[in-house]
Chains A and B, each alone.
Chain A
Amino acid sequence: MSIKRIKAILLLDFFISKQSLEIIFDVFIFPIFTNIIVFGFFTLYLTRNNFGYDPTSILIGMIYWQPIFVISYSIGVGSLWNIWAKNLTNIFISPISTNEYLIAYSFSGLFKGLLILILGYIVSFFIFKINVFSIGLFSSLLYFINVSIFGLSFGIFCLGLVFRFGTRIQALSWGLIFILQPIMAVIYPVSILPKPFQFVAYLFPPTYVFEAIRNNLSGVPDTSLFIVKAFLLNILWFIFSIYFFRMMLKKSKEIGQFSKLEI
């Protein structure tokens, strides 16, 4: 494991990000405007009309959704920038290991995920007067850790798909997560979902986080069971995603897809 090589990829990602308005818009501007601000106003509307339900969980749910998207996006699209520039081969024929490559993009994703979370807190507090830390400082940290690990796993899973099937499925890197969003019950309780979907929902660690947030806000302070379940599932997801990525990369090199990624 070489810190220098990890630093190299982090620097590369930083150099590209600072030059690319697309990344700044995708990772920061759009999530704030289309998610935090829209759902912030929706939360205000529900609060003022007293529907007999604490709608704060909607905004807080959306705030904790952002790191999942941003982290998985960073891992997938970070690599796509190298593919689009025909630079991926140059990187993979250097002595960097697959682990170093994934660690670097994971760090980059985590940093961006933390930034979007902080931005979400700020917008929520100053525009909507909602203090996210009302769910507890320690809980907030545990929730962030759990959604982040899932974001990493999902990003690595999607990257494996792109390496195996090529850029024709590149949209999955930024879009697939949105297909899962309704199932993970970000802004409504899992009980709303049809029974078979409830079973599927509980296969995803973030579902437990969002359920825990709703419990916190409805006056149930002990959400440790949700957190433990989320964490255990996250471990399984993480191991699976690494295994899946390695299998996909291996297959891609066997069938010649990897060397055609840049064509």
Chain B
Amino acid sequence: MAVLQVKNLVKKFRSFTAVDNISFELKEGEVLGLLGPNGAGKTTTIQMLLGTITPTQGTINYFEKDFSKHQQESLQLINYSSAFNSLQGRITVWENLLVFALLYQVEDPKAKIEKLTKYFEVYELLESQYKDLSSGQQTRINIVKSLLNAPKILLMDEPTASLDPDISDKLLTFIEEIKSKHNLAILYTSHNMKEVTRICDRVIFMDKGNIVAQDTPEALIKKLGKTNLEHVFLEIVRGK
């Protein structure tokens, strides 16, 4: 079952077309990699999926409901984690997470926050001010925030960008676990092709606003006669 359907999505900023008529689906329990060079249109696509940019044309359906008409309902079921967003620096981690637990109407905020922060080994940071944390710790807190509402779909924009290999591996393991246990669907962007190969069931390559290739990582590697996804990336980007 497709939990997210994107059809003929277009975004134009005056004469510049950032996203040019793309269509794709994200299935229940699937991890879909959204890849491409800088300026390919990945971020604009994610912003449209989150409702912070309005599409020029096309439709976005979450759970077969039109996102433009059921935005609040859809946003309750999804969440977002990015290495480029922050929480409030001046307040404590606990205060930040409590605010988001209430925003997502989490049943037992205290228990949920404790459980997630313990898993990501940031429980002892709950009373620290967010601004005093290292970027790796902040990223882990952002991931905790994105899991508070037990989302059905998670949009992750380079979530491991500032994590050390240990925590990065832990996050990827966690993604693999929740994906299999809870059928969580994930749209994942990263420039790290190794982790994309590891966790993505399917990848979409974007370039200049268009989808230029999509398949499983293995199939793309085979199709282009390459040894790994990084070489596929370079072939697609430089081959044009």
Contacts and interface: CB of A to CB of B under 8 A. Distances in A.
Interface of A: 2, 4-5, 7-9, 11-12, 15-16, 19-20, 81-82, 85-87, 89-97, 250, 253-256, 258-259, 262
B132 to A, nearest CB: 12
Nearest to B72: A95
A15 B85 contact: no
Nearest to B130: A85
In this complex, the interface size class of chain B, counting residues with CB under 8 Å from chain A, is 20 to 34
A15 B99 contact: yes
B148 to A, nearest CB: 10
Nearest to B105: A4
B46 to A, nearest CB: 9
Contacts of B103: 4-5, 8-9, 91, 94-96
A255 B13 contact: yes
B54 A250 contact: yes
A93 B51 contact: yes
Nearest to A5: B103
A15 B90 CA distance: 8
Contacts of B13: 255-256
Contact of A12 (B52, B75, B88): B88
B53 A89 contact: no
B98 interface: yes
B90 A19 contact: yes
Given A8-B102, A12-B99, A259 B88 contact: no
A255 B44 CA distance: 11
Interface of B: 13, 44, 47, 50-54, 72-73, 75-76, 78-80, 84-92, 95, 98-100, 102-105, 129, 145
B86 A87 contact: yes
A255 B53 CA distance: 8
Nearest to B56: A254
- With a 10 A CB-CB cut-off, give which of B44, B51, B88 has the most chain A CB atoms: B88
B90 A259 contact: no
B78 to A, nearest CB: 8
Contact of B91 (A8, A15, A253, A256): A15
A9 B52 CA distance: 19
Contacts of A5: 102-103, 105
Contact of B52 (A87, A95, A253): A253
- With a 10 A CB-CB cut-off, give which of A4, A12, A250, A253 has the most chain B CB atoms: A12
B99 A11 contact: yes
B95 A95 contact: no
B90 A20 contact: yes
B87 A87 contact: yes
Contacts of B72: 95-97
B91 A89 contact: no
Contacts of B79: 93
A202 B53 CA distance: 39
Given A16-B91, A20-B90, A97-B72, A258 B53 contact: yes
A90 B145 contact: yes
A155 B158 CA distance: 36
B88 A95 contact: no
Contacts of A259: 47, 52-53
Given A9-B103, A250-B54, 9 more contacts: A11-B98, A85-B90, A90-B145, A92-B52, A93-B52, A94-B103, A94-B104, A256-B44, A262-B85
B88 A253 contact: no
B76 A15 contact: no
Contacts of A95: 72-73, 75-76, 103-105
Contacts of A82: 88
Contacts of A11: 95, 98-99, 102
A257 to B, nearest CB: 9
B85 A89 contact: yes
Contacts of B76: 95
Contact of A93 (B50, B54, B91): B50
